[in-house]
């Protein structure tokens, strides 16, 4: 029983040490939500409503949030297309494809 208590204590202790390291890096969606709440960014659905229809049938794969920009990822005919959008204004500021 004493060994069980010791192992349980060690497991809990290591979990408590490891959990702050996992929480250090906020996810894109958390950073985007905070930026929207602070008025530094438009809501992503609003940006998507502006950009997705302009991509002429390309499949939309999703966003990345980069602080002051969103990078929307599309694919058309097997080619990836990145569209960079100013998060504050919703204006497209660049496109890149390979």
Distance CA 18, CA 12 (A): 10
Task: Convert 46-80 to b/e letters by CB count within 10 Å (16 or more is b).
Answer: ebbeebeeeeeebeeeebebeeebbbbebeeeeee
| pLDDT(4) > 60 | no
Provide the residue ranges of all domains of the chain, joining segments of one domain with +. 2-97
- pLDDT tens-digit series, residues 36-95: 777 777 899 999 999 999 999 899 999 998 888 999 999 999 999 999 999 999 999 999
What HEC string does the chain produce? Answer: CHHHHHHHHHHHHHHHHHHHHHHCCCCHHHHHHHHHHCCCCCCHHHHHHHHHHHHCCCEEEEEEECCCEEEEEEEECCEEEEEEEECCCCCEEEEEEC
Which residues lie below 8 Å from residue 91, measured CB to CB, with a gap of 6+? 85
- pLDDT tens-digit series, residues 13-49: 555 555 555 556 667 667 776 777 777 778 999 999 9
pTM equals 0.66
**pLDDT for res 28:** 67
CATH class of 2-97: alpha beta
**pLDDT for res 14:** 56
């Amino acid at each position: 029983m004493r060994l069980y208590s010791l192992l349980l204590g060690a497991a809990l202790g290591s979990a408590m040490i490891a959990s702050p390291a996992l929480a250090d890096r906020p996810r894109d969606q958390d950073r985007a939500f905070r930026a929207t709440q602070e008025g530094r960014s438009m809501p992503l659905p609003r940006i998507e409503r502006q950009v997705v229809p302009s991509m002429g049938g390309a499949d939309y794969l999703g966003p990345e949030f980069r602080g002051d920009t969103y990078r929307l990822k599309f694919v058309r005919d097997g080619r990836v297309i990145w569209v960079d959008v100013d998060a504050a204004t919703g204006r497209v500021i660049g496109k890149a494809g390979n």
